[in-house]
Structure 1
Amino acid sequence: MVRALIVVSCGLATGFIFDFLNVPAGWLLGALLFGVFYGLSRSDVKFDGLPFKLALTLVGANIGILMERELFGIISTYFIPLFISLILTFTGSFFLGWLLYKWAPILDKRTALFCCIPGGASEIISISGDYGADNRIVAAFHTARITFFVLLIPLVAGIWSHADEFSLPEESYLFTFEHFTLFSIVIAVATFLNNKWKIPAGALLYAIILGFLLGEFVFDVREVPAYVGGIGQGLIGVMVGVRFDRKTFLRLKQIGLISARIISLFLILGFLLAYIFYSLSEASYVISLLSIVPAGAAEMSATAFALGLAPTLVASLQIVRVISVFLALPLLIKIIERSDK
């Protein structure tokens, strides 16, 4: 427990330094890098389960408070480009799973498929064993993919963004009792709902909805101190980073350069999907990238929040993507079963 608190504190401190140095998504990247460094050197700290869910609810509460009612009308205008992007995501992921199976003979078809399903890494890992896949390889692959994407995408988004795209709330340093009450209620209720009714990205989704409802109709909260969102992003960063430990590295080493090739193709797929979404919608390319790239709903939402790039829109589209992947999962499994015959 003490060591976990020290790791979190050091990760947040690193995130603060990165943010102070004006590194894009500094809280997230700094904490993530520290987490990766610690995970590779020592594998004695894990943040799965409740700690990670609490970090998600903190980020979700921040995003929900930023939401305005006009957003729901805006989201509906993205239905067609989102639908087309989802179809292409399924097709591309299935093709990458097939390539992984062909290039890595040590993997069976189901393990290769689950390694390439881009929808809620923790949820995919947790259910992969139930479908007969090797969840150790699945966990290692998704951990490497998410870590690589979360390291790269914020840098790309920060460099490509234009000043007029940024929409951060006004700076405020005072964390009031009303803030404390609002966040406490959202975190507690969202955690309860996530335990009661588990859905993909549930902790984040529940927190966003509650943050919006309470911030819009109950509490008179117009802005939140920037460091509160930074702390949430830092928590997610360090908790994701420590997952990339020696065991993860050694399991990926079994596949060798093949895993690096597939992850690179995943990145190319993400950029292509973002371009298609950008071409079919009114969103900028950077916002399209954060909304569509299969790099984790929570992580991309935190990145969008850190950069002030329409975080509510990004979170909404990412959650729709994750839920859609899970709804399509039985169909994907049936395709695999038929190919086995």
Structure 2
Amino acid sequence: MWIHKLLFLTVGLFVGGIFSLLGVPAGWLLGALLTGIFFGIFIRDYDFTGWPFQMVLALVGANIGILMERGLFQQLVQYLLPLLITLLFTLLAGLSFGILLSRWTDLDQRTAFFCTIPGGASEVIALSREYGADQRIVAAFHTARITMFVLMIPFGIGMIYGQGSTDPSAIPQLLPTGVQVSFFVIVILGAYLLNRFINFPGGILIYSIALGFILSEFIIHIGEVPGYISGIGQGLIGAMVGIRFERSTLVRLKSIGTASVKILGLYLLGSLVIAGIFFLLTPLSYFTSLLSTVPAGAAEMASTAFALQMEPTLVASLHIIRVVSIFLVLPFLLKWWINRTE
């Protein structure tokens, strides 16, 4: 089984690398994502939940931590109020979509609620079962939402914004040095162990970013890391996310009918509007605002920001704050929803 999984990941990285060489925006991420979708629908799906996905998150976080600057903490303070305002709109939109989904379909209202809550997908899916929702429908809907955003947003932004500026005279480093390899091993294992002891939504990503920043800023001078290292992290994220969108996901979404397409379309439209609000309240560009507020996962949007060179540390930090905030208020939202439906 693991040989098949490794073969699939190798194919995903190969396609992602080809996309990147061809100049496709966020090529590593999109190429591997499309490979995952193709495998999931036409060949077979593989499960990468648990430690494999966490290790990849830590690799992405380590790359982001290297780019992190001390001034980020001062930046975050000025973005907290705009983030909370847009978070309120995001929650209201999610609740409204849940009401519409329950009215347009024969889904029970708890399942509809968990389908449209814009929190961390894995945590929401796990929690939905405890409250008697149909976990399969919830998983299918969140998989479709994240896949849609990860597929459309990097390509859309990349086509308009471009891939960011690079130095054409720079000579690429082919192999990481021993110090760089040691750095990534320490960060990945350290983040994984910390997440085992103190776990919270997005924990391993923030641990790896923090460790990457501290080690590279104060302890180890690692120099310039080969660009394909971050590309591999983005490609692995894309492959593992894409393969979740497999045949059973399509079957379950089809059972909901056109309502699922309508809700996903409303999610996309709502995200564009909410990003506009964040853009008006901050000095950030509209595209960075979109990456920072769209409910598509911290790792996925941070990887996209990294690929397009658009404030990946800020994007990752704002997403983690968003996810943690949602889970702090989720028990109150659940209580209100249950009282409303009884």
Q: Structure 1 length normalisation: TM-score?
A: 0.96
Counterpart residue number, 1:322: 323
Cα distance change of structure 1 residues 298 and 276 upon mapping to structure 2, 3 Å threshold: same
Count how many residue pairs are aligned between Structure 1 and Structure 2. Answer: 339
Query: Where does structure 2 lack aligned partners over 5 or more consecutive residues?
Result: none
Letter paired with 2:100: L
Counterpart residue number, 1:256: 257
Counterpart residue number, 1:125: 125
Residue 300 of structure 1 deviates from its aligned partner by 0.2
Residue 147 of structure 1 deviates from its aligned partner by 0.7
Q: 1:111 touches 1:138 (CA, 8 Å); kept in 2?
A: yes
Q: Deviations over 1:1-42 (max 9, x none)?
A: 110010000000000000001111000000000000000013
Q: 1:64 touches 1:209 (CA, 8 Å); kept in 2?
A: yes
Using the alignment, how far apart are the partners of 2:275 and 2:96 within structure 1? 18
Using the alignment, how far apart are the partners of 2:224 and 2:69 within structure 1? 12
Letter paired with 2:42: S
Using the alignment, how far apart are the partners of 1:46 and 1:155 within structure 2? 26
Q: 2:140 touches 2:249 (CA, 8 Å); kept in 1?
A: yes
Residue 223 of structure 1 deviates from its aligned partner by 2.7
Letter paired with 1:242: I
Q: Deviations over 1:198-232 (max 9, x none)?
A: 10011111111111111111111243211000000
Q: 1:171 touches 1:226 (CA, 8 Å); kept in 2?
A: no
Counterpart residue number, 1:5: 6
Using the alignment, how far apart are the partners of 1:167 and 1:315 within structure 2? 22
Counterpart residue number, 2:143: 143
Residue 267 of structure 1 deviates from its aligned partner by 0.5
Using the alignment, how far apart are the partners of 2:324 and 2:17 within structure 1? 33
Q: 1:160 touches 1:286 (CA, 8 Å); kept in 2?
A: no
Letter paired with 2:27: G
Q: Deviations over 1:244-288 (max 9, x none)?
A: 111111111110111111011101111011000001100000000
1:271 aligned to 2:272?
yes
Counterpart residue number, 2:96: 95
Using the alignment, how far apart are the partners of 2:123 and 2:223 within structure 1? 34
Identity fraction in percent: 53
Using the alignment, how far apart are the partners of 2:172 and 2:328 within structure 1? 41
Counterpart residue number, 1:53: 54
Counterpart residue number, 2:190: 189
Query: Where does structure 1 lack aligned partners over 5 or more consecutive residues?
Result: none
CA RMSD of aligned residues (A): 1.6
Using the alignment, how far apart are the partners of 2:219 and 2:172 within structure 1? 21
Counterpart residue number, 2:72: 71
Residue 167 of structure 1 deviates from its aligned partner by 7.9
Q: 2:59 touches 2:233 (CA, 8 Å); kept in 1?
A: yes
Letter paired with 1:290: L
Q: Deviations over 1:94-118 (max 9, x none)?
A: 101111111112x111111111111
1:116 aligned to 2:129?
no
| SS of residue paired to 2:142 | helix
Q: Structure 2 length normalisation: TM-score?
A: 0.96
